Amino acid sequence: MTLVKCLECGSAQDYDTAVGYCEQCGRKLPVPLKRGKDSVRQQLRHGTGGNEVGVVNVTVTVVLGLALLAAVIAVAVLIIRSQL
């Protein structure tokens, strides 16, 4: 169901049910912008797919944290070795 607003009288109507013409004034309705039903933004708005995104975010954060920790340890070891 795609609601569109008539530009002449301002009434909101279902584009498919009205067959492209306003039921109030008879003028042609504007063509609705249809987005993909599988878009990520719509899935997040409706609550589907939110768990997968959360799990991925946590995984990426943990991996980046471990990489940062490894880099700090490597720099510390290099500093200690250079002083010996």
For the chain, give the secondary structure using H, E and C.
CCEEECCCCCCEEEHHHHCCECCCCCCECCCCCCCCCCCHHHHHHHCCCHHHHHHHHHHHHHHHHHHHHHHHHHHHHHHHHHHC
Contact 2, 32 (CB under 8 A): yes
* Model pTM score: 0.40
pLDDT in tens, the chain (84 residues): 677 888 888 888 887 777 888 888 888 888 877 655 556 666 666 665 556 667 888 999 999 999 999 999 999 999 999 998
List the domain boundaries for the chain: 1-33, 50-84
Q: What is the pLDDT of residue 18?
A: 77
